[in-house]
Amino acid sequence: MLLAAGTARAQAPKEPPPLWDSQIGASFVGTSGNTDTGTIGADFAYHGRWPVWKVESTATAIRASDSGRLTAERYLAALRGSRKLQSILSFTGGERIERDQLSGIDVRSILDGGLGWALVRTPGWTLDAVTSLAWLHEQPTNGLNIDHPTGVLQALSRIPFASSGDTTQRFTYYPDFRESGRYRSEAEITAQAAMNEHLALKLGYLWRYSNAPVPGFGKVDNTSTASVVLRWKASTAAAP
């Protein structure tokens, strides 16, 4: 379906990014009768683009149950701002808050500040990187709280197809500067294609790895999502 939506607009001219854009996605799967299951997913994203400043924020929520028993529940919110210093260099800072009790995390907060890198800028591909120092505060569902100096090393790639959609690839590495064995990493890929001006289809896959998970929990988590997205954008284009 994503490929079909992209092919339908393959001849449309490419448009510059808007001054701002936002979107809300939602998904639901439920069964009853012989089985009683339900899965609800929601996500939000906002991007603001100005000549010097750029702001982006995201939020996701996933909740699943099986016969009244909660099997998955995760909430995540992130905010990042950046100020351009040179054509490829910017100062960046961000905050990320997560709650995933079924993976052993009551609250996890990462506050970072560092440098952003615009490594590739072509019509067919963009590549950005972040190198930041950070502070990790983690409250596990069992055990002692953690307050450690960490880092954020991230690469984010975006490849548009036609004018109707794009695919993004992200890899993030979180080293721990106090206990080297406590590093974590994430890899995520998404694909989104427009059905019309305001509606789109979105697919996503997220892989998360913790080398030192909360005792009693596994090292790897995988999340696959499919949702319908409602989008808005500014009528004016962002400055080049």
pTM above threshold 0.85: yes
Q: Are 103 and 75 in contact (CB under 8 A)?
A: no
Q: What is the mean pLDDT of the chain?
A: 90
Confidence band, pLDDT 50/70/90 cuts, at residue 16: confident
Tally Cβ neighbours within 10 Å of residue 97. 16
Confidence band, pLDDT 50/70/90 cuts, at residue 66: confident
Q: What's the pLDDT at 84?
A: 96
Strands of 85-183 (E only): list them. 89-100, 105-122, 125-140, 146-161, 165-174
Q: Is the pLDDT of residue 91 over 90?
A: yes
Q: What's the pLDDT at 14?
A: 58
Tally Cβ neighbours within 10 Å of residue 182. 19
Sign of the dihedral through C-alpha 127, 94, 202, 154: positive
Q: Are 222 and 74 in contact (CB under 8 A)?
A: no
Mean pLDDT of 46-70: 92
Q: What distance in Å separates the CA atoms of residue 163 and residue 39, rounded to the nearest whole number?
A: 32
Which domains are seen in the chain, by residue range? 2-9+75-233 (2.40.160.40)
Q: Are 47 and 80 in contact (CB under 8 A)?
A: no
CA distances from 207 to 23, 45, 182 (A): 23, 20, 17
Q: Are 122 and 114 in contact (CB under 8 A)?
A: no
153-198 pLDDT, tens digit each: 999 999 998 777 899 999 999 999 999 999 999 999 999 999 888 9
Choice among 1-10, 112-121, 183-192 with the minimum mean pLDDT: 1-10
Residue 213 neighbours by CB under 8 Å, 6+ apart: 103, 104, 219
Mean pLDDT of 140-145: 91
Sign of the dihedral through C-alpha 133, 137, 140, 143: positive
Residue 86 neighbours by CB under 8 Å, 6+ apart: none
